[in-house]
Amino acid sequence: MVIQEMDSLGGSEPTEPAESAAPVPVRLVLEDGSEWQGRLATGGLPGGGRELRVVGEVVFNTSMTGYQELVSDPSYAGQIVVLTYPQVGNYGVREGEDESDRPLASALITRELYDARAVGRDAFGPRLAAAGVPVAEGFDTRALTRHLRRRGTLRGVLTADRTTPAGELATLASTWRSPSALEVGTRSAYRVEPARSGGGPAGAGANGMAGMVRALGGRRQEPARHAVVVDLGVKRNIVRALAAAGCRVTVVPATTPAADIRALAPDVVILSNGPGDPRDLAVLLGEVRRVAESLPTFGICLGHQLLGLAFGARAYKLPYGHRGANHPVKDLITGRVAITSQNHGYALDGESVEQAGLVVSHVNLNDGTVEGLVHPHLPVWGLQFHPEAAPGPRDAADLLAGFLAATGGAVASQARGEPGGGAGTRAVRAVSVAAGVSGVREEGMPRA
């Protein structure tokens, strides 16, 4: 395996603000035939935006901040994102805070786009326009969000075309298919070195994961432990968090065989977030299970779903998904509630998780859906939400830190096939089973 050396996870190169264009009326036509009116908020697009036609899944996000991280999150690949907070762009954009090398959302819809150049900051809209991502404003985002909640997530077409019948555009919308995580992640392996003393890797900016470092007692582990990240569309802050915790990180393509991952001798394996339906990734499940049965493994978002599927659980599509930074999640082990950042449209079926021999460790307090799992005998944990959330909240930062601490020590003796799984396995088993996740639930706790 050829691995490219990298010493930074900085942001994209600065871009010159594009000149504002005269407002262009646009409409969003959903696959149910409903129409929503607005205007193009950014210039710099081909044809002045008058040729605009974007097809994608229309989803809403309830976050009040974090728009720069949101549109560059690979999990939003191919989606038209509606922001419920009425004004976007208030604080501009900053270098080093993107979650990938470019915006990956197909389009952004908001009530009002603010031009932060008025207060001396780089503006959000021109940055997106330079990347070819349209921003539309003037929409009644409250009514649109309520419609999506009632009808469920719908596909749609955002267009400046005022003449094509809505029915024809609705049919076009219904043909959209989500990009695969196999297309979004890296095509070649690369490395990121541990954080320099006192902070995150070069270019980590404000998202250097101070909370993660605090959760580990502010200490770097010496010598550096080795974390392999299986890239299904990984957010940069997952890699930053691992580097900030003192890990040497190797990021590998999603299709990397388990044998090749074991050959890298990692201490832990992280299955990343990513876009799309986990049920479309059946080709990966055998390798995921082989990895999880031989190495300490932690799944985040899509990675969590793949862990469940690999052990025999079932996944299903949520009516309108969980996307925002205010989702309450209860830890069934400790009883603690954390406010979490989430971005997913699918979930694991709780009953099937238990039938697969896994244990539900966390549930969403809004709808009771599965938010976490553990294996009762292996160092295998999964979280549906983002413990490394950028820009936050960081209530759950200690969960990833706790996994790294609990699996600390040598490269898992599991990888050598030794019985009992070594110190890492015993530590995780002590944390999970002794804490009460072996099937015993506290009175009054909701079932997933």
In a domain, 55, yes or no: yes
Same domain, 113 and 230: no
Same domain, 186 and 156: no
At residue 3, the pLDDT reads: 66
Hey, which bits of 115-221 come out as E strands? 135-137, 154-159, 189-192
Question: Which of 445, 300, 299, 308 has the alpha carbon at shortest distance from 365?
Answer: 445
Same domain, 77 and 217: no
In a domain, 11, yes or no: no
Same domain, 127 and 244: no
HSE-CB of 390 using CA atoms within 13 angstroms: 27
301 is catalytic: yes
Which of 236-262 are b and which e, b meaning 16 or more Cβ less than 10 Å from the residue's Cβ? bbbbbbbbbbbbbbbbbbbebebeebb
Same domain, 325 and 419: yes
Same domain, 218 and 98: no
Task: Judge if the upstream peptide bond of residue 165 is cis by omega within 30 degrees of 0.
Answer: no
At residue 444, the pLDDT reads: 33
Q: Distance (Å, rounded) from C-alpha 275 to C-alpha 280? A: 11
Same domain, 168 and 291: no
Catalytic residue among 69, 147, 301, 362, which? 301
Catalytic residue among 147, 322, 362, 386, which? 386
One pLDDT digit (tens) per residue for the chain, 448 residues: 656 665 545 544 444 444 555 689 999 999 999 999 999 997 667 777 888 999 999 999 999 999 999 999 999 999 999 999 999 999 999 998 999 999 999 999 999 999 999 999 999 999 999 999 999 999 999 999 999 999 999 999 999 999 999 999 999 999 999 999 999 999 999 999 997 754 444 333 334 334 433 333 344 445 689 999 999 999 999 999 999 999 999 999 999 999 999 999 999 999 999 999 999 999 999 999 999 999 999 999 999 999 999 999 999 999 999 999 999 999 999 999 999 999 999 999 999 999 999 999 999 999 999 999 999 999 999 999 999 988 889 999 899 989 998 887 434 344 334 434 443 344 444 444 333 443 333 333 333 3
**Which residue, of 126, 149, 173, is where some domain finishes?**
173
Amino acid at 262: R
In a domain, 302, yes or no: yes
How many structural domains are present in the chain? 2
388 is catalytic: yes
**Which residue, of 140, 173, 206, is where some domain finishes?**
173
Q: The CATH number of the domain where 400 resides is what?
A: 3.40.50.880
Catalytic residue among 69, 137, 371, 388, which? 388
At residue 171, the pLDDT reads: 97
386 is catalytic: yes
- Give tens-digit pLDDT for 43-83: 667 777 888 999 999 999 999 999 999 999 999 999 999 99
In a domain, 318, yes or no: yes
In a domain, 273, yes or no: yes
Same domain, 169 and 197: no
Q: Which residue range(s) make up the domain with 431?
A: 181-435
Same domain, 244 and 292: yes
**Which residue, of 145, 173, 201, is where some domain finishes?**
173
- Map residue 14 onto helix, strand or coil: coil
In a domain, 282, yes or no: yes
Same domain, 191 and 326: yes
At residue 23, the pLDDT reads: 85
In a domain, 368, yes or no: yes
In a domain, 332, yes or no: yes
Q: The CATH number of the domain where 146 resides is what?
A: 3.50.30.20
Same domain, 234 and 379: yes
Could you please report the per-residue DSSP string of 155-167?
A: EEEEES--SS-HH
Same domain, 247 and 289: yes
Neighbours of 211 (CB within 10 A): 21
Q: Distance (Å, rounded) from C-alpha 158 to C-alpha 156? A: 7
Question: Which of 5, 414, 372, 380 has the alpha carbon at shortest distance from 201?
Answer: 5
Q: Quick one: tokens of 448?
A: 């997933």
Is 354 buried (19+), middle (13-18) or exposed (0-12) by CB count in 10 A? middle
